[in-house]
Structure 1
Amino acid sequence: MTFNDRIFGVLLIVLAVAYGWGATQFPEPFGGAEGVGPETFPYLLAAVLAVSSLYLIVRPDPDNAWPWSRTGVELLIAVAVLIVYTMLLQPLGFILSTLLAVGTLCWRMGATPIKAYVTGGVAGVVVFLVFNFALDLALPLGLLSFLEVN
């Protein structure tokens, strides 16, 4: 079943290339391209994903089988949640869309709905604050744009 890992590795390389290309579409920061810009983190993620994908292609797991049971269904749900997350990121903003995505994924992994969505809300706020204030990288506020500090 090494073929499954190799197919998955090729698909992940395509995703890494698309992700890296998407990072090139970010607008250039004001004042030139000095230092770390908004594209740096996506470039790093694309590179790690590409290297990991190559590992899957070169050294696949010999006993790997696709999880067509409940695990496979949960994986498909997780992919669907992440796709919806990307679609909601601009209109709802980072905090609300992260609350929904992380909360749903935590709930699917067995947390109670209240704990899951509280975790999603805390994750959304903490990551937003880190990116906005510590890294000085703006994330979309969406529906919460009234919180924006000028």
Structure 2
Amino acid sequence: MNTINDRIFGVLMIVLAVAYGWGATQFPEPFGGTEVVGPKTFPYLLAVVLGLSSLYMVVRPDPDNAWPWSRTGVELIIALLVLVLYAALLQPLGFIISTTLAVGTLCWRMGARPLNAFITGALAGVVVFFLFNFALDLSLPLGLLSFLEVG
């Protein structure tokens, strides 16, 4: 019975991967249209990874996948809530603050000391922000930190 649950979930995730990939095709072309890395690249990559992972789950389900109703199950629910809040707060708070809060909270829930967890979150937010904005030339929302915007 547990293997059928994995297969059903895998099929649903394949449908989600296809829908996500199709949604990425609806993004407007960047100005000039000759960029190799554009706004569609990351969603395409996520859709492929999700699709392949889901296909693996359909083909080779875990024979013993009882739901962890112990502390692990609670931690998974907390992680899911943190990620939903992260997505909701990304625009209003901005990438750096939202990432600091999300990564910091997840690190803390995994056992890091709170100060170390949130320092890690802040470093991750700043490094990824600069990587996307300056190395990949893809803008991320600044939100509350919009006063730092150049030009």
Q: TM-score by structure 2 length?
A: 0.92
Residues 67, 4 of structure 1: CA spacing in aligned structure 2 closer, same or farther, 3 A cutoff?
A: farther
Distance (Å, rounded) in 2 between the aligned partners of 1:41 and 1:119: 23
Q: How far did 1:33 drift? A: 5.0
Distance (Å, rounded) in 1 between the aligned partners of 2:78 and 2:38: 33
Residues 132, 26 of structure 1: CA spacing in aligned structure 2 closer, same or farther, 3 A cutoff?
A: same
CA contact (8 A) 2:37 2:136 kept: no
Distance (Å, rounded) in 2 between the aligned partners of 1:75 and 1:7: 20
Structure 2: segments with no counterpart, 5+ residues: none
Find out whether 1:32 has 2:33 as its counterpart: yes
Amino acid in structure 1 at the alignment position of 2:150: V
Amino acid in structure 2 at the alignment position of 1:54: L
CA RMSD of aligned residues (A): 1.4
Which string of whole-angstrom CA distances, capped at 9 and with x for unpartnered residues, describes residues 64-85 of structure 1? 2111111111111111110110
Residues 135, 149 of structure 1: CA spacing in aligned structure 2 closer, same or farther, 3 A cutoff?
A: same
Partner of 1:121: 122
Q: How far did 1:103 drift? A: 0.5
Distance (Å, rounded) in 1 between the aligned partners of 2:121 and 2:35: 34
Q: How does 1:71-90 map to 2 (within 5 A)?
A: 71-90=72-91
CA contact (8 A) 1:93 1:144 kept: yes
Q: How far did 1:4 drift? A: 2.9
**Paired residues, number:** 150
Distance (Å, rounded) in 2 between the aligned partners of 1:15 and 1:80: 19
Partner of 2:62: 61
Distance (Å, rounded) in 1 between the aligned partners of 2:87 and 2:140: 13
Q: How far did 1:34 drift? A: 4.2
Residues 116, 34 of structure 1: CA spacing in aligned structure 2 closer, same or farther, 3 A cutoff?
A: closer
Amino acid in structure 1 at the alignment position of 2:142: L
Per mean C-alpha deviation after superposition, the further-off stretch among 5-14 and 91-100 is 5-14
CA contact (8 A) 1:4 1:64 kept: no
Q: TM-score by structure 1 length?
A: 0.92
Partner of 1:146: 147
